[in-house]
Amino acid sequence: NAGVTQTPKFRILKIGQSMTLQCTQDMNHNYMYWYRQDPGMGLKLIYYSVGAGITDKGEVPNGYNVSRSTTEDFPLRLELAAPSQTSVYFCASSYSGFVSNEKLFFGSGTQLSVL
């Protein structure tokens, strides 16, 4: 049981390049999330999905896109990388919403630098 798997672990991009951060979970979770974490700034929600084919914006969606074609996969796309997107990105999942007894399972993160 792998949980939430993110790839790559590290990446350096040049300004204007694009890339996709991969996230897959094997827990049959309905909800999946993308967060970014900047030093001392906590976790900020980029996008989330409550099921295949359904996505919605979080607090900081600009510059990113997502898709959810399967329950397992939730890739995050950066189209035109900018230095402001230098951050650590975490994918997370939960079975349902946070009414009660639901918690987030996080992937190990992707350290992205845009130079």
Partner 1 sequence: GQQVMQIPQYQHVQEGEDFTTYCNSSTTLSNIQWYKQRPGGHPVFLIQLVKSGEVKKQKRLTFQFGEAKKNSSLHITATQTTDVGTYFCAGPRAGNNRKLIWGLGTSLAVNP
Residue 40 touches partner 1, criterion: CB under 8 A = yes
Draw the binding track, 16-35, toward partner 1 (x: CB under 8 A; -: no contact): ---------------x----
Cα(110)–Cα(30) distance, integer angstroms: 22
Token pair in block for residue 101: 């007894």
Q: How far is CA 40 from CA 37, 86, 106, 115, in A?
A: 8, 14, 19, 21
Least separation in angstroms between residue 14's CB and partner 1 is: 25
Identify which range of 12-20, 39-47, 64-72, 76-84 contacts partner 1 by CB under 8 A.
Answer: 39-47
